[in-house]
Amino acid sequence: MYHWVPFWPNTAAVNGQVVNALYIAELAVCGLILVMVCGLMLTFCLRYRRGSSASRADPTQKSWAFEIGWTVATLAAFLGLFVWGAAIYIWLYQSPRSDLEIYVVGKQWMWKIEHPGGQREIDALHVPVGKTVRLVLASQDVIHSFFVPAFRIKHDVLPGTLETVWFKATKTGEYRIECAQYCGTQHAHMTGEVVVMTPADYARWLAERGVRESLAQQGEALFRERGCSGCHGANSTVHAPPLEGVYGSLVHLQDGSTVRADERYIHDCILEPRTFTVAGYPPVMPDFSGQLSEDDVVKLVAYIQSLADKQPPPSPKEALP
Amino acid sequence: MTAITADVPTSYLTSENTVRSWLLTRDHKRIALLFFASITFFFFIGGLAATLMRLNLATPTGLLQPDIYNRMFTMHGVIMVWFFLIPSIPTTLGNFVLPLAIGAHDLAFPRINLASWYVFNLSGLVLLFALVMGGVDTGWTFYTPYSTLFSNGYVVAATMAVFVNGFSSIMTGLNFVVTVHRLRAPGMTWMRLPLFVWGIYTVSVVMLLATPVLAMTVFLVAMERFMHIGIFDPSLGGDPLLYQHMFWFYSHPAVYIMILPAMGVISELVTCYSRKTIFGYTGMTIALISLAVLTFFVWGHHMFVSGISIYSGVFFSLMTFFVALPSAIKVFNWTASLHKGSIIFDAPMIYALGFVVLFTIGGLTGLMLATVGLDVDLHDTYFVIAHFHYIMVGGTVSAFFGGLHYWWPKITGRLYPEMWARFAAILTFVGFNLTFFPQFILGYLGMLRRYYSYPPQWQSWNVLSSAGASILAVAYIMPLGYLLWSLFYGERAGANPWRATGLEWQTSSPPPVYNFTRTPVVTVAPYAYNAEDGSFTAQTGITNA
C-alpha cells in the first residue's frame, strides 16, 4: 500500500493502537473547540461589522458566572484527557514481563543490536510478532533517541546509563527505526528497520545466524578477560559482593538506601562503582568508565543477568562477621 | 518634512538631527527605533536561514550539505529566539509605547535603556562572529554532551553571545518593572493599566527571574567545553539531564516572554477595532499573571521521553494542562469582546483576528503535546515544530506586525497605505498556514525535526510547506517596502487617527521629546469605547463623539 500523499502512519504494535485512540479523541476535542471559537468569531465579525444594522444596545457585561462557567467546563474536558494520557504514559514506560530482551547500542550514526542468543546486527532489528519485546538502550557517545513511528514508542538513549522501552508488534513487515534526538551530521540517516516476523521465521532467522556463543557467554568470557572474576569469582580472596542471584534482588547500599538491581543498576555499578558501594563491602572496585565500550558493558550485564537464578558459592568469608 | 504648526511642540524625531544625537540618545522613543533597526536586521538573517532550510527540504535528499543544513537550523533558532522574538515586542513597541501609555515622560532609567541596546548589539556581533567563522551545529538548544564534547562548531562564541544577550533582557526588564511601579501618571491605578502595559509588565518580571538561569547554564557549557570541568558530560562524571533541566527552566519561560506582550498587543487591537471594551478586564489580568507564574513549573514537559521519572512526567503534564486555562480565558474573552462591537477590518485588526485563530491552534496542539502519553510519539517530530511556530510566528510575529501597523502613525506621524497593509496581513495568514499546517501531518507520520533529508513519501507535504514559506517571505518583506515608503509619502496622521482611548494617543504624533507637554491625569479605565454611537472616552476622561 503506497499513498503518494500519506495522511496516517502505519500502526503495527499494541502500543500504537492505544496511542491512536487517544490521538483521535484529542483531535475531536480540539477540533470542536477550534470550530466553536472560529465559528463565534466569524459570526460576530459578519454580524457586527461596522455599518451593519444589528443592534448594539445592552452589550453583555462580563460576569463571573460566564468566566467561571467556561473555565470549569474547559478544565473538566482537559482533565479527562490528562488522566487518559498519564495512564498511557505509565503503561508505555513501565516495563511489563517480557518474552524477549534485546540490547540496543546507539552510536553516531548507527544502531547496534545484540540479541540474547549472541546474534548481532546493525541498523536492523528482527523480532517475532505477538511477543512482548523489551529493549535495553545504551549510548556510546551523545544522546540519541530510539523511535519506531509505526509502534508509537520513543525513548531517549543517554550516554552513561541504560534506559528501557517495550513493544508488542501486531503485524509482520518492515518498519522504520529513527533517531529522534539530534546527534550530529548524519542524524537524519541514523535509521534502521524493525523486521517483524512470524515466530517460526524468527527462530529460523536466529538459527541461520550461526552464532557460537550467547550474549551471556560472551559476557562470561569478558568477565574473565577483564579481570572481574579475580574479585567476584568463587575462589577470590578479595572481599567483593558475589554476583549470583543479584539481578532482580534488592540491594542495600552503604549510604543506607535500597535499590532494585535491574540492568541499569548493574550497568551503572560497572562504570561508576563508587556511586553504588554495597553495604558491608569496601569501596575498592576500579572505575570502568572509559575502559569498556557500551557493547562490552552490555555483554557483562547479560552475563550477570544470567546468574540471577544461581546460588552464591559457599565462601570462607561467609563465616566472617 | 513640512513645517510643524506652532502649537505642536517639536517632535522627538526632529528635535536634533545629528548621528550623535541618535547614538547617545536617552529618549525611549529613539531607543525603540534603534532596537527596531537591530531586530529587523536579525529577523531577515534568521529568515534567510529559514528560507535555505525550506529550500533544502523541497527534495527528499536535500540540496545542502548536512553540516550546512545543521548550521542553518541552529542559526535560525538562535537568531529568531534571542535576537528577534524575545526582544521584538518589549524593546520596540514596549519601549516606545509603555511610557506614553502610562503617562510617563520616559523610562525610569534612560541610560540603562540605551546600554541595553549596546549590549544587545555587542551580543549580536559575537553571534555574527560565530556565524562568519563557520557556524554552530548544535541546534539552538545546545544539548550536552553533544555541544560540549562532540560538536566542532563555534559553540563557545554562540553561547557567549546568548550569555551577553541575556544582560540586555535583564536591563530592559528591570527598567520596565521599575517604570510601571514608579512612573504611572496620577490616577493610573493598576486596574486602569492598558492590557498592553500588563503584558509588558508580567513579561519583564519573567525576564528578570528566568534569564539569570540561562546565563548560568550557558556559562557552565562553555566551562565544560573549554576546561573539561565535568558538569553535564557523563564521561567526565556529569549528568546530561541536568543540562536539560537548567536549560528548559529558562527556555520554557522564554516562550512566555515571547507571547505575553503579544497578548497585550492583541487586547489593544481587538478593543480599538471593534469599538468595544475588553470583555473581562480582571480575568485578563489574572490570566496574564497566572501564565507568568505557571510558566516556571512546566519545564519538564520538554523532557517526557528524556529519561525523567514517570512521576515527574505526570506532574509536569498536569501543570501544563493548567496553563491551558488562562490561555483559554484569553481566547474566549477576545472572542466575546467582538460581540455587539462595530468591527473595522483594518490591517491591525486582520493581524489580531489571525493571531486569535493561530494562537488557538497553537494552544490546542500544545494541549495534545502536554498529554504525556501522546507526547511519547509526537516528541521531537514536526508536530512540535508546527505547534511552536503557531505560537511564536502565528502568535508573536502576527501581534508584532499588528502592533507595528497600529502604532506606526504614532511612531512616525504618517499613515501606512491601508490596502497594501491589508493585503500583507491576509497574505501572512495564508502563507503561514500553508507553511506550517502540513507539518502537523508530517509530524504524526514520523518526520523528525533537524532532518536534512527524509523518505520520499513525505515529499508532497514538504513541498507544500516550502511553497507556503515563499508566500510568507513575500508577506514579511512587503511591510518593509510600504512602511519605508510611508515615512516619506504617507498621509499625515493626526494625534489619534484610530480614535483610541490610550494615553499615547492623547499627545501629538510623533510625540514631543518628553511625551506630554503637561502630565496627563487619568480618570477612567481603558477601552471606554461605545459601539452604539461610535463615541469613546479617552483615559484622560475626555469623551469624543
Q: Please give, one letter per residue, the 3-state secondary structure of B66-103.
A: HHHHHHHHHHHHHHHHHHHHHHHHHHHHHHHHHHHHCC
The answer to whether the CB atoms of B365 and A163 lie below 8 A apart is no
Contacts B450 to A, Cβ<8 Å: 182, 187-188
Q: Which residues contact B38 (CB under 8 A, 6 or more apart)?
A: B117, B120, B121, B124
Contacts B314 to A, Cβ<8 Å: 86, 89-90
pLDDT surpassing 50 at residue B6 = no
pLDDT at site A245: 86
pLDDT at site B3: 43
At A271, which helix (H) or strand (E)? Answer: helix A263-271
Partner residue facing B457 (CB), from A6, A40, A93: A6
Question: A307 vs A101, A234, A244, A304, B310, CA distance in Å?
Answer: 16, 13, 5, 5, 29
pLDDT surpassing 90 at residue A75 = no
Give tens-digit pLDDT for B322-354: 999 999 999 999 999 999 999 999 999 999 999
pLDDT at site B8: 59
User: Could you tell me where the beta strands, DSSP code E, fall in A115-211?
Assistant: 120-122, 124-128, 132-139, 144-148, 153-157, 163-168, 173-179, 192-197
Q: Is A70 left (phi over 0), alpha (psi -120 to 50) or beta?
A: alpha
Q: What is the DSSP string of A199-216?
A: HHHHHHHHHHT--SS-HH
Mutate to test the interface with A, among B274, B340, B387, B458 (most CBs of A within 10 A): B340
pLDDT at site B465: 96
Contacts B336 to A, Cβ<8 Å: 60, 62, 66
Alpha helices, H only, B344-454: 347-370, 372-378, 382-389, 398-412, 418-445
pLDDT surpassing 50 at residue B73 = yes
Cβ atoms within 10 A of the Cβ of B327, count? 24
Mutate to test the interface with A, among B286, B311, B335, B376 (most CBs of A within 10 A): B376
* CA–CA dist B200, B352 (Å, integer): 17
Tell whether B454 is within 8 A of chain A (Cβ).
yes
Partner residue facing A188 (CB), from B66, B145, B151: B66
Give tens-digit pLDDT for B406-435: 999 999 999 999 999 999 999 999 999 999
The torsion angle over the Cα atoms of residues B464, B466, B470 and B472, rounded to 10 degrees, is: 80
- Tell me the pLDDT band of A5, cut-offs 50, 70 and 90: confident
The answer to whether the CB atoms of B451 and A188 lie below 8 A apart is yes
- Please report where in the chains the cell 511489563 appears, as a residue: A96
The answer to whether the CB atoms of A56 and B280 lie below 8 A apart is no
- Tell me the pLDDT band of B449, cut-offs 50, 70 and 90: very high
pLDDT surpassing 60 at residue B253 = yes
Question: By mean pLDDT, which of A97-111, B224-238, B334-348, B370-384 is the weakest?
Answer: B224-238
Rg of the Cα atoms in chain A: 27
pLDDT at site B267: 97
pLDDT at site B377: 96
Question: B316 vs A180, A217, B280, B313, CA distance in Å?
Answer: 21, 43, 29, 5
Question: By mean pLDDT, which of A38-42, A227-231, B257-261 is the weakest?
Answer: A227-231
pLDDT surpassing 70 at residue A230 = yes
pLDDT at site A83: 96
- Of B197, B271, B193, the C-alpha closest to B530 is B271
* CA–CA dist A320, A308 (Å, integer): 24
The answer to whether the CB atoms of B458 and A6 lie below 8 A apart is yes
Task: Let me know: does B427 contact B405? Beta carbons within 8 Å.
Answer: no
Provide the chain B residues 38-67 that lie in CB contact (below 8 A) with chain A: 62, 66-67
- Tell me the pLDDT band of B177, cut-offs 50, 70 and 90: very high
pLDDT surpassing 70 at residue A4 = no
Amino acid occupying residue B441: I
More confident call, B82 vs A280: B82
Tell me how close the Cα of B452 comes to any Cα of chain A, in angstroms: 6
Provide the chain B residues 300-359 that lie in CB contact (below 8 A) with chain A: 304-307, 310, 313-314, 317-318, 321, 324-325, 328-329, 331-333, 335-336, 338-345, 353, 356-357
The answer to whether the CB atoms of B441 and A7 lie below 8 A apart is yes
* CA–CA dist A61, B365 (Å, integer): 31
B43's grid cell:
529577523
The answer to whether the CB atoms of B306 and A156 lie below 8 A apart is yes
Percent of chain B whose pLDDT exceeds 70: 99
Tell whether B487 is within 8 A of chain A (Cβ).
no
The answer to whether the CB atoms of A180 and B379 lie below 8 A apart is yes
pLDDT at site B472: 96
Question: B396 vs A213, A252, B172, B279, B442, CA distance in Å?
Answer: 60, 53, 18, 21, 24
pLDDT at site B148: 87
Give tens-digit pLDDT for A143-191: 999 999 999 999 999 998 899 999 999 999 999 999 999 999 999 999 9
- Tell me the pLDDT band of B1, cut-offs 50, 70 and 90: very low
* CA–CA dist A179, B99 (Å, integer): 50
DSSP state, A256?
S
B452's grid cell:
536534512
- Tell me the pLDDT band of A314, cut-offs 50, 70 and 90: low
pLDDT surpassing 70 at residue B4 = no
Partner residue facing B70 (CB), from A18, A158, A185: A185
Q: Which residues contact A131 (CB under 8 A, 6 or more apart)?
A: A99, A100, A168, A169, A199
- Rounded to the nearest integer, the mean pLDDT of chain A is 89
Tell whether B372 is within 8 A of chain A (Cβ).
yes
Q: Which residues contact A227 (CB under 8 A, 6 or more apart)?
A: none
Percent of chain A whose pLDDT exceeds 90: 52
Contacts B342 to A, Cβ<8 Å: 48-51, 56
Tell me how close the Cα of A255 comes to any Cα of chain B, in angstroms: 19
The answer to whether the CB atoms of B280 and A66 lie below 8 A apart is yes
pLDDT surpassing 50 at residue B5 = no
- Of B97, B99, B116, the C-alpha closest to B108 is B99
Residues in chain A: 321
Tell me how close the Cα of A66 comes to any Cα of chain B, in angstroms: 9
More confident call, B228 vs B421: B421
Contacts A166 to B, Cβ<8 Å: none
Strand order in the sheet with A124-128: A124-128, A192-197, A173-179, A144-148, A153-157
- Tell me the pLDDT band of B373, cut-offs 50, 70 and 90: very high
* CA–CA dist A104, A140 (Å, integer): 11
Tell me how close the Cα of A277 comes to any Cα of chain B, in angstroms: 16
The answer to whether the CB atoms of A188 and B280 lie below 8 A apart is no
Instruction: Report strand pairing: A132-139 vs A100-107.
Output: parallel
Tell me how close the Cα of A232 comes to any Cα of chain B, in angstroms: 25
pLDDT surpassing 90 at residue A71 = no
Contacts A35 to B, Cβ<8 Å: none
pLDDT surpassing 60 at residue A315 = no
Q: Give the predicted TM-score (pTM) of the model.
A: 0.93
Give tens-digit pLDDT for B17-55: 899 999 999 999 999 999 999 999 999 999 999 999 999
pLDDT at site A321: 44
- Please report where in the chains the cell 500504537 appears, as a residue: A16
Task: Let me know: does A162 contact A264? Beta carbons within 8 Å.
Answer: yes
Give tens-digit pLDDT for A9-31: 999 999 999 999 999 999 999 99
- Rounded to the nearest integer, the mean pLDDT of chain B is 94
Counted across chains A and B, CB pairs separated by less than 8 A come out at: 270
* CA–CA dist A295, A52 (Å, integer): 74
Tell me how close the Cα of B277 comes to any Cα of chain A, in angstroms: 10
Give tens-digit pLDDT for B134-157: 899 999 999 988 998 888 889 999
B310's grid cell:
514517570
Task: Let me know: does A150 contact A11? Beta carbons within 8 Å.
Answer: yes
The answer to whether the CB atoms of A89 and B532 lie below 8 A apart is no
pLDDT at site B358: 97
**Could you tell me which chain B residue has the CA closest to the CA of A2?**
B457
Burial degree of B286 (CB within 10 A; 0-12, 13-18, 19+)? middle
The answer to whether the CB atoms of A48 and B368 lie below 8 A apart is no
* CA–CA dist B416, B414 (Å, integer): 7
